[in-house]
């Protein structure tokens, strides 16, 4: 069916706008009359409503989008349709002047005289967080979900402090709001630069959702540039690793934590991945030795790791552990909070002045265990489960810095009386 459509050039962010009248033949009444509906389309998205008028389908002019004939009743009917079109056009032009977001739904409600509740920022944020919680362990790691929750909490506190309200319409978020939030994180919340940027990046996703759904007319992040600062990552030296291995600990629980931390140092696996390791993750590799193959919790990328002798001995040590036998896990891993507390105690006992964490263990595998011993960076990247080689290359830069420092120290020691001219 061909219908009469009016097309208009829209604002820069819009592409098309049309109004179409058509008979809805599926809703014929007992008298054989069909209702005439109005359809508003903006950028391909439609909204419809009944004009509250019915006609005999044989009297409808599909090409002109109006009723056939010249009688007074026909003229009145077509004038009524034209008045609907004129009112919708008026609302459209008014929104253009105000530079507001234009959607088919908004035009429909304006014509019908109904108010549209604005989309609220924290409501959208909470809806997003609720949805990703339902995907925990499937598409999102628990740590990622917690960061989004914390980001929402910071936004909520910033709105209360800056605007003294509980929430704001998402359309009110502008460049000033974003830069103000960044300043708030760094001052009131005392966040480091990289931490602040990560929270704002979480917030940016919420704004992109609003933009994709036409709840806002433009992306307020378009002129915001957030760049992470390169942070030098700590790792253990061979001497420090040896100190931990040789340290006799006074409690079985500390000894257990020490072994699991060392397992991470010799495999490069993050805490979440070590915790979920099961018997199914052990395979015989192409070289006939035992490997670990696991999808990383954080990125869902595949890590393939041939097990070094130290890691193998740790697995063998806990084969008959009660927790391992009853859960099908490879290692008895405590909660992250308890593990980190015990690891710090181990660092003190071993006189290691570094912040020992599972992140540091993973960095140790990348640097001291593999790259320092000539393992190609491509192989290290695959074992770490990195999506991009550039991520792994950062570890190589750390080693270059270490080489430079070591050679500088050597130059200072080597003070010969005679030098080549």
For the chain, domains (ranges, CATH) are 5-112 (no CATH), 121-212 (1.10.150), 238-409 (1.10.443.10)
**Residue among 67, 71, 63 nearest 33 (CA):** 67
Any residues with CB less than 8 A from the CB of 89 and at least 6 apart, and which?
A: 6, 8, 19
CA R_g for the chain: 33
* Structure confidence at residue 420 (pLDDT): 47
Categorise residue 101: left if φ over 0, alpha if ψ from -120 to 50, beta otherwise. beta
State the angle between helix axes of 238-246 and 252-265 in degrees (0 to 180), rounded to the nearest 10.
150
* Structure confidence at residue 10 (pLDDT): 41
Contact 229, 193 (CB under 8 A): yes
The whole-angstrom separation of Cα 167 and Cα 159 is 7
Cα 268-297-320 angle, rounded to 5 deg? 65
* Structure confidence at residue 4 (pLDDT): 38
Phi, psi torsion values for 160, nearest 5 degrees: -65, -40
The whole-angstrom separation of Cα 349 and Cα 225 is 44
39 beta partners: 20, 48
Kindly report the three-state secondary structure assignment for every residue of the chain.
Answer: CCCCEEECCCCCCCCCEEEEEEECHHHCCCCCEEEEEEEEEECCEEEEEEEEEEEEHHHEECCCCEECCCCHHHHHHHHHHHHHHHHHHHHHHHHHHHCCCCCHHHHHHHHHCCCCCCCEHHHHHHHHHHHHHCCECCCECHHHHHHHHHHHHHHHHHHHHHHCCCCCEHHHCCHHHHHHHHHHHHHCCCCCHHHHHHHHHHHHHHHHHHHHCCCCCCCCCCCCCCCCCCCCCCCCCHHHHHHHHHCCCCCHHHHHHHHHHHHHHCCCCCHHHHHHCEHHHEEECCCCCEEEEEECCCCCCEEEEECCHHHHHHHHHCCCCHHHHHHCECCCCCCHHHHHHHHHHHHHHCCCCCCCCHHHHHHHHHHHHHHHHCCCHHHHHHHHCCCCHHHHHHHHHHHHHHHHHHHHHHHHHCCCCCCCC
* Per-residue pLDDT in tens (0 to 9) along the chain, 421 residues: 334 334 434 444 446 899 999 998 777 888 889 999 999 999 888 999 999 999 998 899 988 889 999 899 999 999 999 999 999 999 999 888 887 778 888 899 888 888 777 889 999 999 999 999 999 877 887 888 999 999 999 999 999 999 999 999 998 999 999 999 999 999 999 999 999 999 999 999 999 999 988 888 789 999 998 887 776 778 899 999 999 999 988 888 999 999 999 999 999 998 988 998 888 888 898 888 899 888 877 777 788 889 999 999 999 999 988 888 888 889 999 888 889 889 999 999 999 999 898 889 988 998 889 888 888 888 888 888 887 777 777 776 666 666 676 677 777 776 654 544 4
* Structure confidence at residue 7 (pLDDT): 42
Cα 60-88-17 angle, rounded to 5 deg? 85
């Amino acid at each position: 069916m061909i219908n009469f459509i009016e097309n208009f050039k829209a604002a820069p962010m819009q592409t098309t706008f049309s109004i179409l009248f058509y008979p809805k033949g599926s809703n014929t009444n007992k008298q054989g009359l069909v209702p005439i509906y109005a359809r508003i389309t903006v950028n391909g998205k439609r909204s419809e409503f009944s004009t509250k008028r019915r006609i005999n389908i044989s009297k409808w002019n599909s090409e002109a989008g109006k009723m056939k004939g010249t009688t007074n009743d026909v003229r009145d009917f077509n004038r009524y349709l034209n008045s609907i079109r004129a009112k919708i056009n008026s609302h459209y032009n008014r929104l253009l002047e105000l530079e507001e977001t234009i959607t088919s739904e908004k035009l429909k409600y304006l014509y019908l005289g109904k108010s549209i509740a604005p989309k609220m920022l924290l409501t959208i944020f909470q809806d997003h967080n609720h949805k990703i919680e339902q995907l925990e362990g499937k598409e999102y790691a628990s740590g990622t979900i917690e960061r989004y929750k914390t980001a929402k909490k910071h936004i909520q506190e910033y709105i209360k402090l800056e605007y003294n309200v509980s929430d704001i319409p998402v359309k009110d978020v502008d460049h000033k709001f974003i830069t103000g939030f960044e300043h708030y994180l760094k001052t009131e919340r005392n966040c480091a630069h990289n931490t602040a940027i990560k929270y704002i990046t979480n917030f940016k996703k919420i704004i992109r959702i609003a933009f994709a759904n036409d709840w806002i007319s433009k992306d307020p992040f378009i002129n915001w540039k957030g760049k992470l600062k390169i942070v030098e990552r700590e790792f253990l030296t061979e001497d420090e690793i040896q100190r931990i291995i040789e340290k006799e600990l006074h409690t079985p629980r500390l000894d257990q934590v020490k072994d699991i931390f060392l397992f991470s140092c010799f495999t490069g696996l993050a805490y979440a991945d070590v915790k979920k390791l099961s018997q199914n993750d052990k395979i015989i590799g192409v070289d006939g030795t035992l490997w670990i193959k696991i999808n990383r919790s954080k990125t869902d990328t595949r890590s393939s790791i041939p097990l070094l002798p130290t890691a193998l001995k740790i697995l063998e040590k806990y084969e008959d552990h009660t927790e391992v036998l009853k859960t099908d896990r490879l290692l008895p891993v405590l909660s992250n909070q308890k593990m980190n507390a015990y690891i710090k105690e181990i660092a003190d006992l071993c006189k290691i002045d570094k912040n020992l964490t599972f992140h540091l263990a993973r960095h140790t595998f990348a640097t001291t265990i593999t790259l320092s011993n000539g393992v190609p960076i491509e192989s290290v990247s695959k074992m770490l489960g990195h999506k991009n080689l550039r991520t792994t290359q950062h570890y190589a830069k750390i080693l270059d810095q270490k080489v430079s420092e070591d050679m500088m120290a050597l130059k200072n020691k080597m003070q010969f009386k005679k030098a080549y001219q």
